[in-house]
Structure 1
Amino acid sequence: MKRSLLQAICLMLLCLPFAGQGQGYKQIPLAPGNGQIVHKKSYNPGYGIQFPNLNKIPYYHEPKKLAAIQKLEKRRKYAQMLPLLERYVHNFGIENFYKDTPLLWRLGQLYEKQGQTEKATVLYRLVLKHHRSDVRRVTSHFDSLEQNTKDYYVPLDYYYEMVEYRKSIATFKPPKGVYLNMGNAINSDYADYGPTLSDENQLFIYTSKRNINYQGMETRVNEDLFYSKQNNGFWEEAKSFGKPINSIYNEGSACLSRDGKTLYFARCEAPDGMGNCDLYMATLQPDGTWGAIKNLGTNVNSKAWDSQPTLSSKEDTLYFASDRLGGFGLSDIYFTHKTKSGSWAPAQNAGPVVNTRESEVSPFFHPLYQVLYFSSRGQLYNFGDFDIYKTYKIQGEWQEPRNIGPLVNGRGSEYYFTIDAASRNLYYARSEADDIDNLDLYSFPLPMEAHPLAVTKVEGTLTDSVTRKPLSGIISIVDLDNGIEISSKYIRPDGTFEFDLIDKTRYMMLIQSPDFFTIERELSLQQDTSFQVMTTVIDYSIPMVFRNIEFDQNMSNIKEEMEPILDEVALFLIDHPKFRLEIAGHTDGFGDPDFNRSLSQDRADAIKRYIERKVNITDDRIDAIGHGSQKPIRTPEKTEEDRRMNRRVEFTIIKPKKGNR
């Protein structure tokens, strides 16, 4: 059997096996569903990789050009091959991304060979998002490239455990409420989901399955639109939109224009529909009712499922989800824009950076900024099934979507969501058992990873001050203005770390590890910040002696100048709840031995009491011992310096046994 030209190239390049054209299908449930940001180096454009044919042709294929590329490959003339392959990939249609994945992989290799790692990484991501074959080789190579650039989030349970320990010495706290159920005024005994807000956050619109139609012995669940008005900070009892918005058909996934006069929503299985579900619009009438309901037509709707609309900040573009044929995966994000005549232009696919071979649903465009949020289970670095991502549009290109972090995205599915215009709260649907038939609506303080203005990069490197080698640990960022601990990540294998934060905001950076005392650094951001952090590793075999832990003669009172060091020791114990501390007091040889032993015990006890009160820990984690003059460092004591060296307090950190954290 003859091989195709592409298969031959693939085998020659030692690339991926040729991918077949088969595609699975999954029905997606109905509902969910002019500001500018000054983007800094944290969000670079897409490195010049554009695909202008995506919404023009389904598949690009030029045998002669592929043959020329193959010929140069055989002769190892990579410098001449690169521009030819670059132009060929530049012409890709949607089908090329899963049929010709090996060409993306090979172009990435050539970029990397020339030192253009950023371009190579973009292509490797596309391979991992769109392949339909075994890509273990690509995955392994990509992971090696990304190990010192990706985020290593602290598990959520451990994150809250750390925060709880720190509460005893500071006012830092995690986002309050975590999942705050919106209550009986909004939620019912049936599925409630698909939230959206009016421009002033005074009207909360969502989808509910609470309207049950009984037809003899059978029941028919009807999806309808409901709304609630805000009154003095509270949501009133929800009301149905009623007719003509709600009908005997299923309605949901609404979004409202800024002036509150146009409602876009989905309606399913209606006589004037073109597919499973279509997008419609309704207009607010002078008498306060809704009417003039209109199908958005063939430019927008397809013969498949079209739902979950969201308007751009200028309201000239409508984004939505669809599982129509010709996309990248099971369902994709599409968009349509208004023409000069006021009609909607033919819908276009949002492209291979946003969409994957899996499902992308629930698009939400921020009402003020050029930020698109959506749910996906095909993007890289998923925490669960469907996770929420955000992406910025810069110079006409969507940037690599970023997971908004474990404070929102758990092991289950997160979708059907909206964010208020002030970017204070995220509203979305979830269920305790991850059961889509039992969804409730919740509100959640918007985490830093999800904030549209979090584009200022803070990056650094942590190294040992002696060996200059990278250190490991956990780094946390605290919003000082609000007293909220907003993010915790493990430091990368090469000792680097980075966060995207909000400019002109005050933060505290905490770095902790079993290998050194916690480092605190206050940050007052004015621009992107990069710095080197150096510290000394704890040697657990040697007791630590701090120069400023010196008591007055014959006294055991804690002096003010001692407190910063003792606070540092206390914070270490808080951050490492399985570690123990031994405090050993020592005196010089001058005076009565019994008095010296009693004095050294009093001093050790005083330090123990101070730390226990400071961090509110149990006394079984600290041992205080007074040795008096029995264990001198310098003997005999000939000078005052000898006696001063022997008058000391030693701190010994005792590690937990293996298996304990």
Structure 2
Amino acid sequence: MRFLLFTAFYFTFLGLQAQSKQATKATALVQEAMLLETGMDMASALKLYRKAVKVDPTLSLAWYQLGVALRKNAEPTSEQVTCFKNVVVLDSNSKNGMNSIGNLSAIYNDNGIFDTSLYYYKRYINHEKLHPKRKEQALASMPNREFAAKSYKHPLKIDPWPLHNWINEENSLQYFPILTGDEKKMLFTRRNKGSQNEDLYISLFLGDWQEPDKLPGTINSHESEGTATISADGTTIVCSYCGDLRENFGNCDLYYSTLKGNKWSKLKNLGADINSEAYESQPSLSADGRTLYFVSDREGGIGGLDIYVSHKIDENHWDTPVNLGSLINTEENEGSPFFHPNGVSLFFASKGHVGMGGYDLFLSEMEEGKWTEPRNLGYPINDQNNQLSLFVNATGDKGYFSKEEFSDQSMTSNQSRIWTFDVPPELKLGHRSNYVHGKVFDNITKKPIEASLKLVNIETDQTIGQVSSNLLNGKYLVMLAEGAEYAFYAETPGYLFKSISFNYKEKRDFEPIELDIFLDPIIKGITVQLNNIYFETGKAVLLNKSRTELNKLYQLMVKNPTLNIELGGHTDNVGSDETNLTLSQKRVDAVKTYLVKKGIPSSRMTGVGYGESKPKASNDSAQGRKQNRRVEFTVM
């Protein structure tokens, strides 16, 4: 029995002695490798670390140093995971064990495996070796980790795909896509790998996106023009420019170019109204080009980069930019705002709101003059990398975004491509849009003319959009958002305005509207129908939403002091002839009274009620009767 016990002890001793020799040899290899690391010979150091873990697979220090070196050298993450997991198994309670747990959390997060990352993150936070200050910092990031894990388990049902390789060039980075309202043109920024020079490109959609063209030298230079926006009608570009070739106020300013006929004007600085000595970039125009959102790190902000908004006063001036406030901006950076054509939805990127890491994309909407709490767009639109520059089309069913992509060999993005996706039901916008487009002509010569086109919400008398038709071909495009009734006006000096009505309160059909507009010169005998005059049913009481049209007629008469008109009132055939004749007369009298109270002399207007005697359509249908109930004016 004693012999057996002695034998067992002897062989155990020999095993421990052998292990001790292996540990000593492995430790020496680790020490030598660490010296090589300090001499920046990482390749030789990695060879010795790998040799050390083979000599003694139980030496946690060797596994830890190998894992750290692999991570520094951006080696494949699978080998890093093996190293740190071995440390956790061998020595989880040590400081190296704690750091290995933290590294595992970071690796899984970097690779988008958020639930496993959260598991290790919680172990890291609760580790007894973690310094209280580091624990406090780690706890501050816990909401992001928990949100990422939850979003990862409940992904949105989308399947984004990259655009063609003639859009996404392999040797370039592509980002910040923005489309015109009709989705026929896409503007984006391209930068060749290894270069800091950004240029603007535009691609046409002809059944598919075509080979993009670099914008002309009036816009692009050998310095950086990028992160641009384009108005819905495709006639105004605002971009950032960082360089010394052009007039500037700071290190990056915002510039604009307009399309005159078929040529882009030379880039011009937006001026001191918008630009400062600080950084201004990443602009987004409203559909009509008269509201500008952008990013700046100017003094007085909330965080690093904040989002600001400014409104156009006239052709040469903007009002003072206003910070969007702490509901949108955080103490971190915000960026890449995109103001949707519906006029209420703001998409933007943020590092400060709860997200999945880096820049995430968010949505906030304007309700009763205030922004709503930003909503993270979720996974897989957002992931562990930076997501920037989202665009959603007018009807809200298709999106485009640019996405940074990384490889194991690089800690900086080695690719940025433009992707597109079908918007899932969870992200459908509360307000959709479509557009009306066409050309404006002189009704006599039938030649195209330049005119101002204005869209007004008649319930609030607020101008929603204002554009001009193209001087050469008369083309125009105006966005229409659901949820309101609109008066749409086309006008130009020397002509009578054209009045059109759009009821989008309960709009169901969002197909684009093609509408050519013919304006009449101010000559005797021309009649204009006022399509946005409304009365109480069966009465001559003007509804409040008529004031937009009444004021438009008032302005026409003020600008043309020699203009005299006849106001004509018409009804459908419901009721007796006498009743309709009386009603039509009272209604034109109400219009005349409004204008007289505004200051137009009564002598410049006559009012005639025609009753049902001059129908424009058949009274056999509700639609026909609606057309027959109208007020017109005729030049006398």
By relative contact order (CA 8 Å, sep 6+), the higher-ranking structure is: 1
TM-score (norm 1): 0.41
TM-score (norm 2): 0.43
| Bigger Cα Rg | 2
